[in-house]
Structure 1
Amino acid sequence: MSDLVRRAHTALFEHTSDGVLVLDLEYRLVEANGAAQRLLGESGDALRGRPISELLPQWTPPEPLSPEDPPRDGEWVWHGTVKSPRQAHVLRVRCVPLPEGRVLLLRDLTAHAEVEAMLRQQKEYYESLVLNSPVAMVTINLRFNVVSWNPAAERLFGYTAREAMGRNILRLVASEGPIRDEAESTSREALERGRIQLLTRRLRKDGTPIDVELLALPVMVEGEQVGFIAIYHDLTELRRLHEQELAHLHTIQSERERADQLLLNILPKPVADRLKHGQRIIVENFPDVTVLFADLVDFTRFAAQHSPPDVLQVLNMVFSIFDQLTDEFGVEKVKTIGDAYMAVGGLSLPRDDHAEAMARLALAMRAELLKLGDQLQIPLHLRIGLHSGPVTAGVISGKKFAYDLWGDTVNTASRMESHGVVDGIHLSETVYERLRGRYRLQDQGIVPIKGKGPMRTWLLLGVP
């Protein structure tokens, strides 16, 4: 053997990562390289001359073994020597026969075994996850042929794993019409982008469509994509619940709007808004408004001669007309009291010409009521009273809300109505001063007013 080869053998012995033990024919240690000393946890001097049964007590030498026999391999779990680490190691021992003894090559497979165990665990975990997943999980190759098909996919699409395996996924769940066109486009996009997520529609085995969310993720092996895992979330029930929720929300919104409208029928909008925001005590002073009272003349006699439904129908027609007129002239209805109607101008809708607006309202109410009486062929007549001045307005709250006005202005307007004439619009002097020159007015002179004494009043006849 040349010196170069001898030096190469020496270098290989000393620097190989595998442990090398040289044994004599009695299986006693003659020499151990550095890797073996580190593995056994002792120096070469401490190891020399010791039997292999002491160093590797669980390893049994293969017998018979002659130089002509091939090397013998074996693996086992080894717990180390007294001085080496006591944790378990997995060793592969190769026994090479020599004429003068044996050479043992020791390779520590512990890390490799741990990796394999971890991979097996991960594989088992993944398979368990896929097997028990509540969502359909399908593995497909790059030709879109099914490689795996979990039980949730069976439940979703109706195909067993045996029916699905090896078949093209598009032919299975997107076999016709616009669904097929969209699925082919989606497949091309997935190949280009590597992954895709979208809401779409697929078909069951029986042909019924299902709404799904599709998430396609790449499957990689050594850095190269070999297919996809397609995850299908069934949105059918979710969409049904969503549509049901939207219907409920629409119903709630409709009922809220209906409740708001009912509230606006009895309260001014600013007051209703404050009540909806939790305010329960609402009292305000208004320095200058015009109050109107209108009363149906001799309606008590009409009510006595007709059925309650007929009476209610007439009142509803009359007050509906009045409500429309208050909206038209930008003033507010306050309330109805039997067959009387109360309105106010300049309250929650402030305006300087509230007296003139209420005058136009009064004229329109009288004209529309006479027209309605002609249509129904029943006598319908009004007495109307107007007065301007300060009022206190507020909400009386208990089981029911009621918005009302208080003060001398309200009382005076009521007296103007009750002391008026049939089909007449009776004005106080305060209202007269605001209307003169713009309307035809008739002086009534001094009129004794109950609770007020003598007052000079006028009748509103119309526009010039």
Structure 2
Amino acid sequence: MSIEAINEQLLRAIGVGVALLDRSSFSFHFYNDTFEEWFGRPEEAATLADLFAELDLDALRDGLEKNGRFTAETRFKKKRRTMVIAVDFAPTSEGGQDIAVLVCQNITRIRELESMIDSYSMMVERNNREIKREKEQVEKLLLNIMPRSVYEEFKTFGVVTPQLYDPVSVLMLDFVGFTDMVASADPSVTVTELNDIYSAFDRIGEQFGCERIKTIGDAYITVAGLPDPTPDHSKSVANAAIRFIRYLERRNLSHPNQWRCRIGLATGAVVGSVVGIQKYVYDIFGPAVNLASRLQEFSEPMQISVQHEMALELRDQFELDSLGTRDIRGFSEQEIWRLLDATKIASDAG
């Protein structure tokens, strides 16, 4: 068998399309079976442009002359299907005739896979963004119901170790006549206004280093000195309480619904932890919480009741007025004080 016959058999056996072209006219001299299977048998005198209309022949000539090679991608339409073809041209000479060797690879499947990978990557990226957004929403929600340090422990270990905080100061606020308001007013209006008020309380408390623990209907509980110890925790809740009432008084001047509250302040020990398994919530328990709740019951509307021990710490910087000795349920009989707004006293005196 001659060398030419062996070469022809090799060209027919390989899984690429191969053709020999005249370099001046790009007409076909030879093509293997794979080439014919993909593109059909070129008609007599057919040229490369007839087969690949999208191919830039000027760029092809320039590449062969300057670089000795030219590679590109082009498309071939066969009936209703479009093939993506990678073409590689290399110059050679045979019997004094300039020849261009064309090697074609069908990369349609590769491009389809790449397109699928790109689509999958975009989908994964989109899902990652959604997961990140949902994670941020969950984090924001959890930070609304527990301090950040507690959240970090919960996120890392899945549980929160109960901690004793001593001393801290607790502010317990309850609205006057809330039940009657709910029964008589539009529920959506009541909830909207309550949300506005609690949001304002959160901002005020944050200014003084108070951590809102929870809201239970019309009850609002915030604490200072937790989770990080604060030496001025009593002053923090006292400042917050005064400004809560100031905010409600200003708000009531321009709103039909009049929101009035009672506030109790107490200092002491509390235990903080996450309770519940599925519907978990961060909560605090202890004498300071119970005492603040009892003191709130002794307050008149828009007044602040303070335990005696805390009043001793506040009396140098705040105006206080004794309410006398009272028997507090669950606690010993002790003197109760009313915390006054010094700004309002000065205004009334003027």
Per the shorter chain, which TM-score range?
Answer: 0.7 to 0.9
> Which has the greater radius of gyration?
1
Tell me the TM-score normalized by structure 1: 0.56
Distance 1:461 1:193, change over 3 A: farther
- Output the amino acid matched with 1:172: E
Instruction: Give yes or no for contact 2:68–2:91 (8 Å, CA) kept in 1.
Output: no
Provide the C-alpha distance between the structure 2 equivalents of 1:149 and 1:370, rounded to a whole number of angstroms. 93
- Tell me by how many angstroms 1:349 deviates: 4.2
- Please provide the CA RMSD for this pair: 4.5
Match of 1:396 in 2: 275
1:402 and 1:266 map into 2 onto residues whose CA distance is 6
Mapped partners of 1:331, 1:318: distance in 2 = 16
Tell me if structure 1 keeps the 8 A contact 2:19–2:101: no
The answer as to 2:310 corresponding to 1:310 is no
The match for 1:166 is 48
Q: Return the structure number with greater relative CO, CA threshold 8 A, min gap 6.
A: 2
Residue type at the aligned position of 1:290: S
Q: Which SS does the other structure have where 1:250 is aligned?
A: helix
Does the CA-based 8 Å contact 2:147-2:227 persist in structure 1? Answer: yes
- Measure, in 2, the Cα distance between the counterparts of 1:240 and 1:395: 42
Q: What corresponds to 1:3 in structure 2?
A: none
CA distance in 2, matches of 1:427, 1:140: 101
AA partner of residue 336 (structure 1)? T
Inter-partner Cα distance in structure 1 for 2:174 and 2:267: 18
In structure 1, give the amino acid aligned to 2:286.
G
Count residues with an aligned counterpart: 322
* Aligned equivalent of 2:264, options 380, 385, 395: 385
- CA 1:160–1:215: 2 relative to 1, 3 Å: closer
Alignment pair present for 1:248 and 2:134: no
| Equivalent residue number for residue 214 of structure 2 | 335
- 1:459 corresponds, among 310, 326, 338, to 338
Q: How do 1:126-137 residues align onto structure 2 when only pairs under 5 Å count?
A: 126=14, 129-130=15-16
Is 1:369 matched with 2:255? Answer: no
3-state SS of the aligned residue for 1:400?
A: coil
Instruction: Letter of the 1:416 partner, please give it.
Output: L
Cα 1:168–1:361 shift into 2, 3 Å: farther
Mark the CA change 1:241 to 1:138 in structure 2 (over 3 Å): closer, same or farther.
Answer: farther
Q: Are residues 193 and 219 of structure 1, via their aligned partners in 2, closer, same or farther at CA, if it must alter by over 3 Å? A: closer
Deviation at 1:371, TM superposition (A): 2.4
Q: Is the 8 A contact 1:138 1:150 kept in 2?
A: no
SS of the residue aligned with 2:54?
Answer: helix
Residue 86 of structure 1 corresponds to none
Task: Tell me which residue corresponds to 1:15.
Answer: none
Q: Structure 1 residues 161 and 432 mapped into 2: Cα distance closer, same or farther (>3 Å)?
A: farther
Task: Read off the aligned partner of 1:311 and give its amino acid letter.
Answer: T
* Cα deviation digits, residues 172-191 of structure 1 (max 9, x gap): 1579xxxxxxx96xx87x96
Shift of 1:385: 1.0
Whether contact under 8 Å (1:173, 1:204) holds in the other structure is no
Q: What are structure 2's unaligned runs of at least 5 residues?
A: 94-99, 344-350
The CA distance in 1 between the partners of 2:27 and 2:252, in whole Å, is 83
* 1:334-360, Cα deviation, whole Å (9 max, x unpaired): 111121001111212443222222222
Letter in 1 for 2:16: V
Aligned partner of 2:346 in structure 1 is none
**Which structure 1 residue ranges, 5 or more long, are not aligned?**
1-74, 76-111, 132-136, 176-182
Please say if residues 130 and 150 of structure 1, whose CA atoms lie closer than 8 Å, have aligned partners that are also in contact: no
For residues 363-410 of structure 1, what are the alpha-carbon distances to aligned partners after superposition, in whole Å with 9 as ceiling and x for unaligned?
Answer: 221112222223222221111111122211101122201111111111
Query: Aligned partners of 2:33 and 2:150: how far apart in 1?
Result: 63
Mapped to 1, the partners of 2:19 and 2:125 lie a distance apart of: 33
Partner secondary structure for residue 158 of structure 2: coil
> Contact 2:51 / 2:76 at 8 angstroms: preserved in 1?
no
Q: Given residue 223 of structure 2, which amino acid in structure 1 is its aligned partner?
A: V
Identity of aligned residues (%): 24
Q: Which residue of structure 2 aligns with residue 297 of structure 1? A: 176
CA distance in 1: counterparts of 2:246 and 2:101, whole angstroms: 84
Taking the TM superposition and a 5 Å limit, the aligned residue runs for 1:8-407 are 123-126=11-14, 129-130=15-16, 162=42, 166-167=48-49, 172=54, 233-234=110-111, 235-407=114-286
- How many Å separate the matches in 1 of 2:22 and 2:175? 87
Equivalent position of 1:409 in the other structure: 288
Q: Distance in 2 between matches of 1:138 and 1:286?
A: 85
Partner Cα distance (2:342, 2:88) in 1: 82
- In structure 2, relative to structure 1, the CA distance for the partners of 1:411 and 1:220 (3 Å cut) is farther
CA distance change for structure 1 residues 446 and 123 in 2, over 3 Å: closer, same or farther?
A: same
Please report the TM-score for the alignment, with normalisation by the length of structure 2: 0.72
